């Protein structure tokens, strides 16, 4: 079974380490966890009649943007069928927070860190180092943009603008993902509260390191079991 199930029907899916798109069952012992593997667990728990509610036990600084928002959609699908609580059992930052945002509720341990909504792309220019070493790379290519952002020359303004546009597009998708998850209607009281403090883009951008509630893992597991009894 790809997750633990308690005697009272709570499925516990643990996600730790840096997140990558592909890798099936690459796991925490390697320091990586794949969206592919997480997705399989989420879909299995959704279809498992023995699982009445789910805890997502999370400790990750984030990872690749590619695949993160699709995984968050799977969490929203699961939460629509079974009570799903994301427990920030240490850290749920960046892509991990995107995934957590699809749960019915997000709680943290007392020192847990959640949020860090943003996208970063690194370009390293090794041209000066190579020049000092007497090495002159020559890129032979076809296609006007095939070697854009290669590490052997400085970024041109045009390529920098293209890369910034890609980062901005991922950032917009990130904001949209979090808004879909955290904007889900709850009780009438919760809906009234949301109308008073709706998740605007400005507020989403300010969630660096924000914490969402507090509670021990054991207490939340017990609560999740009672919520579906």
**Active-site annotation holder among 146, 180, 187, 216:** 146
Beta carbons of 215 and 119 less than 8 angstroms apart: no
Q: What is the CA radius of gyration of the chain?
A: 21
From the number of C-beta atoms within 10 Å of its C-beta (0-12, 13-18, 19+), residue 39 rates as middle
Sign of CA dihedral 48, 52, 57, 61: positive
- Dist. CA 73–CA 185, nearest whole Å: 16
Q: Helix 68-81 crosses helix 157-182 at what angle (to 10 degrees)?
A: 10
Q: How many residues does the chain have?
A: 229
What three-state secondary structure class fits 149?
Answer: coil
**Active-site annotation holder among 34, 53, 60, 94:** 94
DSSP state of 29: G
- Dist. CA 120–CA 70, nearest whole Å: 19
- DSSP lists the bridge partners of residue 4 as 12
Asked if 146 is an active-site residue, the reply is yes
Sign of CA dihedral 113, 226, 13, 7: positive
CA nearest neighbour of 113 among 131, 130, 103, 100: 100
For the annotated catalytic residues, the residue numbers are 94, 146
């Amino acid at each position: 079974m790809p997750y633990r199930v308690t005697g009272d029907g709570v499925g516990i899916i643990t996600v730790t380490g840096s997140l990558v798109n592909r890798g099936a069952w690459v796991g925490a012992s390697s320091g990586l966890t794949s969206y592919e593997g997480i997705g399989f667990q989420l879909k299995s728990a959704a279809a498992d009649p023995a699982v009445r509610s789910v805890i997502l036990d999370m400790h990750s600084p984030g990872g690749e943007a590619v695949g993160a928002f699709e995984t968050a959609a799977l969490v929203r699908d699961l939460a629509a069928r079974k009570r799903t609580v994301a427990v920030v059992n240490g850290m749920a930052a960046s892509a991990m927070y995107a995934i957590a945002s699809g749960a019915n509720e997000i709680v943290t341990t007392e020192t847990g860190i959640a949020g860090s909504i943003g996208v970063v792309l690194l370009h390293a220019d090794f041209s000066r180092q190579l020049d000092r070493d007497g090495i002159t790379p020559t890129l032979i290519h076809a296609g006007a943009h095939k070697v854009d952002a290669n590490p052997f020359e400085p970024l041109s303004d045009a390529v920098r603008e293209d890369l910034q546009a890609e980062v901005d597009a991922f950032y917009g998708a990130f904001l949209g993902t979090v808004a879909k998850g955290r904007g889900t209607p709850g009780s009438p009281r919760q809906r009234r509260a949301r109308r008073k403090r709706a998740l605007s883009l400005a507020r989403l951008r300010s969630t660096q390191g924000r914490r969402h509630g507090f509670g021990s893992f054991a207490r939340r597991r017990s609560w999740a079991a009672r919520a579906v009894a």
